[in-house]
Chain A
Amino acid sequence: MEQFPSEQNDKSAILNNVVGPQTSQLTVGELDIEILPVIYDIIRCVEKNPVDNAAKQRESQECSQKILELQKRFDSARSQIRQLPGIDYNKEEQLQKLEQLKSQLMLKQKLIKKYKNKPF
Chain B
Amino acid sequence: MSFHLSTKERLLLLIDDIEIIAKQLIENAMTPKHLRVPAVETTALVDLLVSKDEEFRSMLQLAAEQEKIEQKMNAYRAQVEIQDREINQLQKQLKEAEQILSTALFQARQKLNSIARANKRPVSSEELIKYAHRISASNAICAPLTWMQGDLRRPYPTDIEMRVGFLGKSDLNANGHSVTQPNNTNDIHRSTGEVPAASQNQFAWQLGELHMMGGSGSSVSLDTRAHKEASQDDVEVMSTDSSSSSSSDSQ
Contacts and interface: CB of A to CB of B under 8 A. Distances in A.
Interface of A: 3-4, 7, 10-11, 14-15, 18-19, 22, 27-29, 31, 33, 35-36, 39, 42-43, 46-47, 67, 70, 74, 77-78, 81-82, 84-91, 93-95, 97-98, 101-102, 104-105, 108-109, 111-112, 115
Given A101-B76, A108-B87, A18 B81 contact: yes
Contact of B82 (A11, A93, A95): A11
B90 A115 contact: yes
B30 interface: yes
Interface of B: 3-8, 10-12, 15, 18-19, 22, 25-26, 29-30, 49-50, 53, 56, 60-67, 69-87, 89-90, 93
A64 to B, nearest CB: 11
Given A10-B82, A46-B26, A112-B87, A85 B76 contact: no
A88 B30 CA distance: 39
A67 B6 contact: no
A90 B4 contact: yes
B3 A42 contact: no
Contacts of A95: 69
B38 to A, nearest CB: 17
A115 B86 CA distance: 11
Contacts of A74: 15, 18-19
Contacts of B6: 87-90, 93
A116 B5 CA distance: 44
B80 A101 contact: yes
Contacts of A85: 67, 70
Given A84-B8, A105-B79, A108-B83, A46 B63 contact: no
Contacts of A10: 82, 85
A93 to B, nearest CB: 8
Contact of A81 (B12, B53, B85): B12
A46 B66 CA distance: 40
26 contacts: A7-B86, A11-B78, A14-B82, A18-B74, A18-B81, A19-B74, A19-B78, A28-B63, A29-B64, A31-B60, A33-B56, A35-B18, A35-B22, A42-B26, A46-B26, A74-B19, A78-B15, A86-B71, A87-B8, A89-B66, A90-B5, A94-B70, A101-B73, A101-B76, A108-B83, A112-B86
A47 B61 CA distance: 34
Contacts of B65: 91
A50 to B, nearest CB: 15
Contacts of B67: 27-28, 84-87
Contacts of B72: 98
A89 B93 CA distance: 39
Given A88-B8, A90-B4, 7 more contacts: A27-B67, A31-B60, A85-B70, A86-B67, A89-B7, A93-B6, A98-B72
